[in-house]
Amino acid sequence: MKILAIALQKEGKILSASYEVLEAAKSLGGELHTAVLGEAAEELAAEVAKRGGGKVLAVANPALKQFQDEIYAKVISALHDKYTFDLILAPATTYGKALMSRLAGANGGRMASDVTGLKAEGDSVEITRPTYGGNVLASVHPNGGPFFVSVRPKIFNESTEGDGEVVTESVDASAFEGRAVVKDVKVEAAATQNLAEADVIVSAGRGIKGPENVNVVQELAEAVGGAFGASRAIVDAGWVEYKHQVGQTGRTVNPKLYIACGISGAIQHLVGMQTSKTIVAINKDKDAPIFNIASYGIVGDLFEVVPALTKKFKEELSK
């Protein structure tokens, strides 16, 4: 089985979710290739090679500095035309999802998204992915390639070592032409981590009462070095931006620790976070459904509990 893992980078740094994809790809034991695209792709490819990327295909071009799904898809398609992969894997991050849907569309349409399990099965693979809002796990068996898989972050460990060699690839110049032009990149002032990649997420729900109290929960997120999430109720109310929404119509997350503050636990929220390793719920209603899935429950007023936790974390983490 010929496998291509796509190691996506952002701002010249390989994303940790890319090393998780590498670990997943390595576990299948096929003929492993890894694609690294960027302005200075060779340097990044050398890092990936040290962490077990197999044949690391480096494509360097100024047009690859910022992620653009149209251009990246054309470059990966060109690599596929040359090598003919059976399985192509990328992280199910915002970039990865945009890329894989476009790639699958252009190359036969076979794909499985947000995959949580991969197992070698003879010269093929058994793919596991949650479906029906996470209530059912489907087994997918590709019958023919190329098959595109986006891998849910925080399921696999990061690949830290292994064999690899860098191969510099040249791709036809037309691949680097896209319809969109990135003119400027503005980095957000607030330290809002990417939800999909975060190890810790602290989320707020309607229990915060109004937009003036968003900072109560955001401060806890900052104190623990986590990302800030939200229920749809407060996104729809316009208190926080959509990019923070967790759930069926927001992000699916899988952190090591999820702290839900003033969130009732509607099924549409739970399907987006119930696979978190540890869930802490803070709610003043002891019968709130969120407590059914919580590892630890705190029945209390979030306006007392959350600032107390923030204070304690700041004290402990500054020691």
Interface residues with ligand FAD (CB under 6 A) are: 205-207, 231-234, 245-250, 262-264, 266, 268-269, 272, 282-285, 288, 301-303
Shortest reach from residue 308's CB to ligand FAD, in Å: 13
CB of 304 to ligand FAD, least distance (A): 8
Token code pair at residue 110: 């076979």
Q: How far is the CB of 284 from ligand FAD (least distance, A)?
A: 4
**How near is the Cβ of 315 to ligand FAD at its closest, in Å?**
23
- 124 or 213: CB nearest ligand FAD: 213
Beta strands of the chain (E only): which ranges?
2-6, 9-10, 13-14, 31-38, 51-60, 87-91, 111-115, 117-121, 124-131, 136-140, 147-151, 162-168, 200-204, 227-230, 257-261, 278-283, 296-299
Closer of 19 and 239 to ligand FAD (Cβ): 239
Distance of CA 190 to the CA centre of its chain: 20
- Closest CB to ligand FAD among residues 76, 280: 280
Nearer to ligand FAD, 166 or 253 (CB): 253
State the chain's maximal CA–CA distance in angstroms.
Answer: 62
Nearby residues of 24 by Cβ (< 8 Å), 6 or more positions away: 5, 89, 118, 151, 155, 156
Nearer to ligand FAD, 226 or 250 (CB): 250
- Which CB atom, from 11 or from 236, has the smaller least distance to ligand FAD? 236
Measured from each CB, the residue nearest to ligand FAD is 247
Least distance CB 134 / ligand FAD (angstroms): 12
List the one residue out of 48, 115, 125 whose CA is nearest residue 85: 125
CB of residue 137 to ligand FAD, shortest distance in Å: 20
